[in-house]
Amino acid sequence: GAVVSQHPSRVICKSGTSVKIECRSLDFQATTMFWYRQFPKQSLMLMATSNEGSKATYEQGVEKDKFLINHASLTLSTLTVTSAHPEDSSFYICSARQDRGGSNQPQHFGDGTRLSIL
Amino acid sequence: SQQGEEDPQALSIQEGENATMNCSYKTSINNLQWYRQNSGRGLVHLILIRSNEREKHSGRLRVTLDTSKKSSSLLITASRAADTASYFCATAISRHNDYKLSFGAGTTVTVRA
């Protein structure tokens, strides 16, 4: 159980394009979803936390107008990279957590999206 | 900023040997989690150890937690080629009635056949 599906797995597009990435929890309701960014051979950096039905909480230094997050249901969150530029090229990973049962719940991760902006 | 630091950065072992990696952190935690990441893929949750636990096992994995030293270790016994991956520790830190995970830099493990 606890499967998180992330789509698409890879995107290559021109500078100025907006890109939407979907994150779905397939077999559980995800009260909270997270979006991370990972540079090659580095750790994961949290970009934002989203709760179903409310605005996302962005980490310091992350532009909320650049990275639009929508958590419309308990099984779906989307990240839209608006007007993407080459410096936005990265590996984006979502994760989801079912908060029922207390705070000691693991996060379950999608397989990531490799975004390449030309 | 990252809270956890992992040691070593890279580890190369022969199949059948044990692999040990360590994680140190700086602030109080709710729990500590270990994850595995295969190249170009997402993270797979391995073990969660709560702050009031000292040791936990799952199959060939053994995790210890020493809150007095603010450190944790992950031991993989009888390693296999399929264990080749990057391993990350993540500390769960309370924030605004919730908690967020702070990841270490990871240990890259290569198991040679």
The pLDDT tens digits for B15-49 are: 999 999 999 999 889 899 999 999 989 999 999 99
Q: How many CB atoms lie within 10 A of CB B59?
A: 9
* B46: chain A residues, CB-CB within 8 Å: none
Kindly identify which residue of chain A lies nearest to residue B1, measuring between CA atoms. A45
* B50: chain A residues, CB-CB within 8 Å: 104
Specify the pLDDT at position B13. Answer: 96
Across the range A99-118, mean pLDDT stands at 85
Q: Does the beta-carbon distance from B33 to A107 stay under 8 Å?
A: yes
pLDDT tens track for A3-28: 999 999 999 999 999 999 999 999 88
Q: Alpha-carbon distance A69 to A46, whole Å?
A: 13
Q: Does the beta-carbon distance from A111 to B42 stay under 8 Å?
A: yes
Q: Alpha-carbon distance B60 to B77, whole Å?
A: 5
pLDDT tens track for B54-99: 999 999 999 999 999 999 999 999 999 999 999 999 998 877 667 7
Sign of the four-CA dihedral A49, A72, A79, A65: negative
User: CB-based contact (8 Å) between A6 and chain B?
Assistant: yes
